[in-house]
Structure 1
Amino acid sequence: MLPTLTHVALHVPDLEACIRFYSRFCGMRVIHERAGKGSRIVWMAEPGKEHQFIFVIMPGGDDRHLAPDDYSHFGFAVESREQVDAIAADAGRDGCLIWPPRDEPYPVGYYCGLRDPAGNYVEFSYGQPLGPGSEAMPIP
């Protein structure tokens, strides 16, 4: 059996701000929390995916300073272009929008990008061969 990717662990400068961000923009929720080495460790997951993939978020990290043209990111698929636009508008009001909505050739699709409170970039996309509706799309 091959290994399965189950989680990404992040040290962040402001744990509560990151919990709020991933709850609000990504629909994730805290599924577990515990004390660990003098701090609080939180597990977050999308509803229904608690046993598939989680973010482990821990305090103590440094703010990441990514350049606007650095495309390192976490990617979330959404169900429509309108949802990408709504997320971008909300992020614009909050001052965390880094890539306004844009169209790229397949397989990239329509997307926008946000900066989380720790400095990580988070993409919201529609039309990629991953996520909602992707079953009908071939992967190039």
Structure 2
Amino acid sequence: MVDIGLTHIALPVSNIEKSIEFYSTYAQMQVVHRRIDANAGVAVAWLSDNTRPFVIVLIQTQSVQPILSPFAHLGVGCKSREAMDILCDKARQEGILVEEPKDSGYPVGYWAFLRDPDGHTLELSYGQEIGLTVEKTANV
């Protein structure tokens, strides 16, 4: 099978293990590929939530200038408002909750911003209906 469409986003990270732990915890992602890049000699990991053919590519670098910050972000849909609140409570305790959860109504839904170990922003959300919106427009 040949990949078509948006397949990944690559993020520079300063500590690949901390970033893997963050995205495993807050985005329910797991490592699906890992290597030391032969040309650059740096650690690379692909993370997926296994819901679609899309990965976050983490590339360990010496220095990171946050690219997805403060408003640019990755977005992850949660299975329920309660599940999102549990993650936000954990993020609050860890000091990485940037924007408290708020309900912005349809189509934005319930959302919050977190900061990953390198300062990139991750949005947790519930009720955005992105999948349903895409499905509706694909059938037009």
Report TM bin, short chain: 0.7 to 0.9
Which of 41, 45, 50 is the matching residue for 2:48? 45
2:29 matched residue in structure 1: 28
| Alpha-carbon offset, residue 26 of structure 1 | 0.9
1:62 matched residue in structure 2: 64
Distance 1:87 1:130, change over 3 A: same
Distance 1:97 1:127, change over 3 A: same
TM-score by length of 2: 0.83
- Do structure 1's residue 111 and structure 2's residue 114 form an aligned pair? no
TM-score by length of 1: 0.83
CA distance in 2, matches of 1:54, 1:11: 14
Q: Percent identity?
A: 36
Q: Which stretches in structure 1 are left out of the alignment for 5+ residues?
A: none
Bigger helix fraction = 2
1:77 matched residue in structure 2: 77
Which amino acid in the other structure matches residue 82 of structure 2?
A: E
Q: Is the 8 A contact 1:13 1:63 kept in 2?
A: no
CA distance in 1, matches of 2:56, 2:18: 14
Any idea what the Cα deviations from partners look like across 1:8-41, whole Å, max 9, x if unmatched? Answer: 0111112111011001111100111111121111
1:19 matched residue in structure 2: 20
SS in 2 for 1:11: strand
- How many corresponding residue pairs? 130
- The CA RMSD measured in Å over matched residues stands at 2.2
| Alpha-carbon offset, residue 47 of structure 1 | 2.7
Any idea what the Cα deviations from partners look like across 1:56-109, whole Å, max 9, x if unmatched? Answer: 111114142877xx3211000112111221111010011100011101131101
SS in 2 for 1:88: helix
Which amino acid in the other structure matches residue 10 of structure 1?
A: L
CA distance in 2, matches of 1:66, 1:43: 18
